Amino acid sequence: MQLYVLGKKAGKSVEPANEDSGSRDPFNSFRRMVWGSQTLQERLSGFENEDALIAECVAAGREYGFAFSAKDVDDALRQGERSWKERWIG
């Protein structure tokens, strides 16, 4: 089990979907774990409310030794939303 420093370094892009940068960002590492865990996918995929999902991610992350904040998850969510909406200019 790995333990990471809470939060992220100032100015660091939150692109947690990038598999190459997984080890440098606690939430990204957690996300990689979720990709490979049916148990975690089932635990997290039922949330229709974003705030509830974010809170559950933080709680699950803590259980597995990943220290990231609700803001980290929210930033990742917004980043994903933006990249999809702005796909035509990408």
Partner 1 sequence: MSADLAGWLPIRFFWRHDQPVVDWALMGTCRLADAFFDETVDRVFRNPFRKLFRRETSADELLNWAAMSQGLQPRGFIFHMSRCGSTLLSQMFGALPRCRVVSEPHALFGIMRGQFRKASVTPEQRASWLKAMITALGHPANATETEYFVKFDSWHCFHMRLVHDMFPGVARIFVIRDPVAVLASHMNYPAGWITPGVFPPALCGLTLETSRRMAREEYYARIIGLICNAAADLTEQGLCIPIDYSQLPALVYYLLPRIFRMTISEDESELMRIRTMKHSKLPDRQFQGYSEEKHRKAMPGIYQAAARWIEPAYQRLRAAALDLNSLQNHDRELCMKQGGQHFGRI
Instruction: Tell me the window of 3-11, 60-68, 80-88 that interacts with partner 1 (CB under 8 A).
Output: 80-88
Mind giving me the DSSP string for 33-77? HHHT-HHHHHHHTT--SHHHHHHHHHHHHHHTT----HHHHHHHH
Residue 15 interacting with partner 1 (CB under 8 A): yes
Q: What is the CB-side half-sphere exposure of residue 59 using CA atoms within 13 A?
A: 9
Residues 6+ apart with CB under 8 A from 75: 14
CB 12 to partner 1: min, Å: 15
Residue 90 interacting with partner 1 (CB under 8 A): yes
Residue 63 interacting with partner 1 (CB under 8 A): no
Among 4, 26, 31, 72, the residue binding partner 1 under the rule CB under 8 A is 31
What tokens appear for 61 in the block?
């992350």
| Chain residues that interact with partner 1, rule: CB under 8 A | 15, 17-20, 31, 34-36, 41, 44-50, 53, 57, 73, 76-77, 80-81, 83-84, 87-90
